Amino acid sequence: MSEITLSDVVRHAAEKFAAPGLSVGVWADGAETYAAHGVTSLEEPQPITRDTLYSVGSTSKPFTATALMHLVAQGKVDLDAPIRRYLPELTLPNEQWTARITVLNLLNHTAGLDWRLIVDTGDGDDALADFIARLSGLEQIAAPGTRASYSQVGFSIIARIIEKVTGMTFERAVQTLVLEPLGLANTLYALDEITARPVAWGHNADSNGELVLARQWKDNRANNGGGGVASSARIRTTR
């Protein structure tokens, strides 16, 4: 029997789940291995490669958490501090609960916040600040620390804390604290930078079960802390 390769596994997975394209990178024992299969889009197909960018969705949260923990290690953020220490302007419906929310509550999804607030505050550098200003309309579903509740909004608040503490935009802060030191040149936030490179487009099934292109490639800028990263299988391009 012939040896099964990573390329075999990737091709089988793509075909099994009817994925138009798939790429995988594996680092093990000091060696990098890549495999790619399929096309970037069913409308304008280009071959998938190890450098094709994908929207990684909520896998963006570890990048945000890592940047935050850099600030914790530098003594600039206290995980046990109330978030009002960093965002005194924050207003949520339940003042008593809001005053008790800590940075750690946001990080481990125990702040009692609803999943998300559907609002687009644009693509400017003030997108996060504007988003935070609208959180009076967010539902709070539990007192802080009493239960787990996965929250995209919680990571948008963390992103704004990072902005306030560093004096940079969230994206620039993550680039400075995390991406540049690790050589992650294929990990990006800005949509214009992303779409200037080969990208894999998402697809949805229509009413007939046929795959059609998903027109929105990534979430809006205020949600970059929880879901804004684009990356490729070959994320590390410098040593």
Domains of the chain plus CATH, in order, are 60-175 (3.40.710.10)
Taking the C-alpha atoms of residue 200 and residue 34, their distance in angstroms, rounded to an integer, is 16
Query: Tokens standing for 57?
Result: 């969705």
Tally helices (H) and strands (E) across the chain: 10, 7
Per-residue pLDDT of the chain (239 residues; tens, 9 = 90+): 568 899 999 999 999 998 999 999 998 888 889 999 999 999 999 999 999 999 999 999 999 999 999 999 999 999 999 999 999 999 999 999 999 999 999 999 999 999 999 999 999 999 999 999 999 999 999 999 999 999 999 999 999 999 999 999 999 999 999 999 999 989 999 988 988 899 999 888 888 888 888 877 778 999 999 999 999 998 766 55
Where does the chain show beta strands of DSSP type E? 21-28, 31-38, 54-55, 187-188, 203-205, 211-213, 230-231
Taking the C-alpha atoms of residue 112 and residue 101, their distance in angstroms, rounded to an integer, is 8
Nearest of 125, 211, 210 to residue 163 by alpha carbon: 125
pTM of the model: 0.91
Nearest of 17, 23, 12 to residue 230 by alpha carbon: 23
